[in-house]
Structure 1
Amino acid sequence: MKKAIVFVLGAALLLSSGSANVYADDLTKLENEVSEVMGVPYKWGGTKASEGFDCSGFILYIFDKFNLDLPRTSKAQASTGVYVEKSELRPGDLVFFDTSGNGISHAGIYVGNGKFAHSSSSNGVSISKLSEGYYKQRYVTARRTISENSYQKMISD
Structure 2
Amino acid sequence: MTTTRMPRSGSLPAVRRAALVLLAGAGVALSPLPAQAAAGGGGPSSAAVAAAPAAAAASSAAQTVVSTALAQKGKPYVWAGAGPNSYDCSGLTQRAFAAAGVKLPHSSRMQSKMGAPVSRNALRPGDLVFFYNPVSHVGIYIGNGQMVHAPRAGDVVKVSSFDRMPGFHSARRLA
- Assess same fold via TM > 0.5: yes
Structure possessing the higher radius of gyration over alpha carbons: 2
In structure 2, the partner of 1:119 is 150
Report the Cα offset of residue 138 of structure 1. Answer: 0.6
1:25 alignment counterpart: none
Deviations along 1:39-66, whole A, 9 cap, x unmatched?
100000000122x100000001111111
| CA–CA distance in structure 2, aligned partners of residues 92 and 125 of structure 1 | 16
Equivalent of 1:106 in 137, 150, 170: 137
Which residue is equivalent to 1:79? 113
- Name segments (4+ residues, structure 1) moved above 3 Å: 12-15, 28-32
CA contact (8 A) 2:69 2:148 kept: yes
Q: Give the TM-score taking structure 2 as reference length.
A: 0.64
Describe the SS at the equivalent of 2:67.
helix
* CA apart distance, 1:15: 5.0
The CA deviation string for residues 58-99 of structure 1, in whole angstroms up to 9 with x for no partner, is 00111111111112200000001111011100011000001x
Matches within 5 A, 1:1-157: 7=42, 9=44, 16-18=51-53, 29-50=64-85, 52-98=86-132, 102-121=133-152, 122-132=154-164, 135=165, 137-146=166-175
Render the CA deviation track for 1:4-41: whole Å, top value 9, x for unaligned: 8x52755x776533458xxxxxxx54443233211100
Over the residues paired in the alignment, what is the CA RMSD in angstroms?
A: 2.6
What is the distance in 2 between the residues matched to 1:35 and 1:62? Answer: 9
Residue number in structure 2 paired with 1:154:
none
The runs of 5 or more residues in structure 2 that have no matched partner are 1-38, 56-62
Indicate how the Cα distance of structure 1 residues 37 and 131 shifts in structure 2: closer, same or farther if over 3 A, else same.
Answer: same
Q: Give 5+ residue unaligned stretches, structure 1.
A: 21-27, 147-157
Q: Which one has a larger percent helix, Structure 1 or Structure 2?
A: 1
- Residues 42 and 124 in structure 1, CA contact (< 8 A), matched pair in contact too: yes
Contact 2:66–2:126 at 8 Å: present in 1 too?
Answer: no
Q: Which amino acid aligns with 1:32?
A: S
* Matched residue SS, 2:124: coil
Distance 2:109 2:69 in 1: 22
Q: How many residues align?
A: 129
Q: Distance in 1 between matches of 2:145 and 2:168?
A: 12
8 A contact 2:109–2:135 mirrored in 1: yes
Q: Against the structure 1 CA distance between its residues 128 and 8, is the aligned structure 2 distance closer, same or farther, given a 3 Å change threshold?
A: closer
Distance 1:61 1:45 in 2: 12
Does the aligned pair in 2 maintain the 1:42–1:125 contact within 8 Å?
A: yes
Q: Secondary structure, in 3 states, of the residue corresponding to 1:47?
A: coil
Contact 2:66 2:140 in 1 (8 A): no
